[in-house]
């Protein structure tokens, strides 16, 4: 089969940076700034960020690079590769929130570049810039690109695997086989980052496309699936086999719980209905999500015929199948969290970016698109919601404080209204420019508004929330670490958070209401020498052990230590 125009690579040396390359250079610089600026703020959030970060700290401190641990116990939630990736910046920059989140930021910049390069190959320079910008200027991408968790690294690997698969499929044999092998390696790495979810996402999108294209026989002939299975299992299986050999049934039970049970049952109260991800995608991919339904409908018309033609015709079909199947898969899961849906973002961004680029070159006949009206209305609603945060918190803050005792009323000052104004003005500018058929300006309005909104959030709003919600518990945990001797433990009564373990760098004993006898026994044995509880529970703790007295209190929390045992020397 002769290669299509999109499969030809220009020969010769690379040309120096020109105005054609300046847009992507600027966009990558903007992405890096948005992801790295004040990356250490706020402090680690509960539960995922703190749990991953503590596992990395214990891996480095304990020297066990095979079995992850948290709070001194084995942690089988995820395979080890993500901990290795997170540990690299820690060894370079030292242990901090910045270094623990750095892997996500770099993966985010890499993903924007990957989307640009892949889109440019199939839809041209302008559409590639628009696609990369739609991804970079979306709230979900920016939040996950600044988080000390697996998802951005996983997204880079799964996206790279699917891009490699598509290029391999439309490359003449045998030149496509190296791309299949690259997809295999990336798939194995994704397996080692977050378990089977990565391979499942890639397999769903690839299988759906092969079905539409009628390409199963061709794939079996050219890709050699048996070799793919050997590569994926050969790279990933050894660690799983070692865990089974070392930990036996305990590992099997934990692995089943965090994979099969998570999909079939609601864990941690993270449930919802099958429509859960509709508003999630609307918000996390806003304003580009407004244009996604129409783009999907257009791309999937006659999808089987398009999928069988060539790389150019099948490209939007491949992206649409990817988007729809990932959305359906996670919608059917019993446990639902907003960031689970992130794997569809690269495909959705390219679809929307390509459509906006097409409109910029050939504006639609209708002067005002319904999507523009929706974009303006949603932007106005978001702005109103942000502007009314203080009112809402004033009414329902008591519910939050019962769950997070350190949470206090947050005074955003003028910044809340500033953020609301940015969202409203940006949505209005996008809608107005689109109605005037100025789609370059519409796209730029969306990118600018989201960028300014996120800078406002990082600069002013997150620090204010951090100071009132997270800092009190973090400060007390750090102080507990200076009071508890190395190798010792302290107790958390009713208000346990994984971040307390990380910031104290000491083992924590979790005590729930009704377990006061267990707490008394731990104190009597000398295992526990400090207790953190709500200030309202101080008297109850004193009844357990009268020698305990309040050492420090912040944000509704009290740290109590034994006056009899005294204080250890600060570290």
Per-domain boundaries in the chain: 19-362, 372-466, 484-562
Q: How many residues does the chain have?
A: 571
User: How many CA atoms lie less than 13 Å away from 216 in the CB half-sphere?
Assistant: 6
Q: Is 487 exposed, middle or buried (0-12, 13-18, 19+ CB in 10 A)?
A: exposed
Place of tokens 């020109």: 18
Structure tokens at 201: 């996402």
- Neighbouring C-beta atoms of residue 532, cutoff 10 Å: 29
Task: Give the pLDDT of the chain (571 residues) as one tens digit per residue.
Answer: 444 444 433 333 434 444 466 788 999 999 999 999 999 999 999 889 999 999 999 999 999 999 999 998 999 888 999 999 999 999 999 999 999 999 999 999 999 999 999 999 999 999 999 999 999 999 999 999 999 999 999 999 999 999 999 999 998 877 888 999 999 999 999 999 998 999 999 999 999 999 999 989 999 989 899 999 999 999 999 999 999 999 988 888 888 777 777 766 666 656 677 899 999 999 999 999 999 999 999 898 888 888 888 888 899 999 999 999 999 999 998 888 888 999 999 999 999 999 999 998 887 766 557 778 888 888 888 888 777 766 666 555 555 555 566 666 667 778 888 999 999 999 999 988 888 888 999 999 999 999 999 999 999 989 988 988 889 999 999 999 999 988 889 999 988 899 999 999 999 999 998 888 999 999 888 889 899 999 989 999 998 888 899 999 998 899 999 865 544 444 4
Pairing of strands 557-562, 528-534: antiparallel
What is the architecture, at CATH level 2, of domain 484-562?
3-Layer(aba) Sandwich (3.40)
* Phi-psi label, residue 525: left if phi above 0, alpha if psi -120 to 50, beta otherwise: alpha
pTM above 0.85, yes or no: yes
Structure tokens at 418: 């500033």
Bond before 47 cis per omega within 30 degrees: yes
Q: What would the 3-class secondary structure string for 480-503 be?
A: HHHHCCCCCEEEEECCCCHHHHHH
The kind and range of the H/E element at 304 are: helix 303-307
């Amino acid at each position: 089969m002769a290669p299509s125009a999109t499969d030809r690579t220009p020969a010769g040396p690379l040309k120096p940076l020109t105005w054609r390359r300046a847009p992507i250079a600027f966009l990558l610089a903007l992405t890096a700034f948005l992801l790295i600026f004040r990356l250490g703020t706020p402090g680690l959030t509960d539960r995922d960020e703190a749990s991953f970060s503590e596992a990395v700290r214990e891996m480095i401190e304990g020297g066990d690079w095979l079995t992850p641990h948290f709070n001194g116990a084995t942690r089988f939630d995820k395979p080890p590769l993500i901990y290795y990736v997170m540990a690299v910046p820690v060894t370079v920059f030292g242990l901090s929130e910045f270094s623990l989140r750095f892997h996500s930021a770099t993966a985010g910049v890499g993903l924007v570049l990957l989307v640009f390069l892949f889109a440019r190959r199939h839809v041209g320079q302008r559409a590639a810039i628009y696609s990369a910008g739609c991804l970079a200027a979306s709230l979900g991408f920016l939040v996950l690109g600044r988080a000390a968790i697996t998802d951005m690294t996983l997204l880079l690997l799964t996206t790279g695997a699917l891009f490699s698969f598509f290029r391999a499929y439309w490359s003449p044999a045998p030149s496509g086989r190296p791309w299949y092998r690259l997809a295999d390696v990336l798939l194995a790495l994704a397996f080692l980052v977050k378990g089977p979810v990565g391979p499942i996402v890639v397999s769903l999108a690839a299988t759906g496309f092969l079905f539409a294209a009628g390409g199963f026989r061709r794939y079996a002939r050219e890709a050699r699936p048996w070799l793919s299975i050997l590569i994926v299992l050969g790279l990933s299986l050894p660690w799983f086999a070692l865990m089974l050999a070392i930990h036996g049934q305990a590992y099997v039970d934990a692995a089943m719980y965090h994979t099969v049970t998570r999909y079939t049952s609601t864990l941690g109260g993270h449930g919802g209905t099958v429509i859960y991800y509709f508003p999630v995608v609307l918000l996390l991919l806003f304003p580009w999500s407004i244009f996604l339904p129409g783009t999907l409908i257009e791309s999937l018309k006659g999808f089987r015929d398009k999928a069988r033609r060539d790389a150019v015709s099948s490209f939007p079909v491949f992206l649409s199948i990817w988007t729809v199947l990932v959305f359906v898969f996670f919608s059917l899961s019993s446990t639902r969290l907003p960031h689970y849906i992130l794997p569809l973002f690269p495909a959705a961004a390219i679809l929307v970016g390509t459509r906006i680029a097409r409109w910029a070159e050939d504006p639609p006949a209708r002067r005002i698109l319904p999507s523009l009206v929706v974009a303006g209305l949603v932007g106005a609603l978001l702005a109103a919601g942000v502007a009314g945060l203080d009112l809402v918190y004033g009414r329902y803050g008591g519910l939050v404080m019962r769950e997070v005792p350190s949470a206090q009323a947050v005074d955003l000052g003028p910044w809340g209204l500033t953020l609301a104004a940015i969202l409203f003005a940006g949505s209005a500018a996008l809608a107005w420019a689109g109605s005037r058929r100025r789609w370059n300006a519409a796209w730029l309005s969306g990118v600018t508004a989201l960028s300014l909104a996120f800078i406002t959030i990082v600069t002013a709003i997150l620090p204010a929330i951090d100071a009132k919600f997270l800092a009190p518990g973090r400060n007390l945990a750090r102080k507990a670490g200076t009071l508890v001797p190395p190798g010792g433990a302290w107790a958390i009564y009713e208000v346990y958070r994984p971040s307390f373990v990380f910031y104290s760098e000491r083992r924590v004993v979790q005590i729930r209401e009704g377990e006061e006898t267990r707490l008394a026994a731990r104190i009597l044995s000398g295992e526990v020498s400090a207790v953190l509880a709500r200030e309202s529970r101080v008297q109850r703790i004193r009844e357990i052990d009268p020698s305990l007295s309040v050492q420090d209190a912040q944000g509704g929390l009290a740290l109590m230590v034994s006056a009899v045992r005294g204080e250890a020397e600060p570290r």
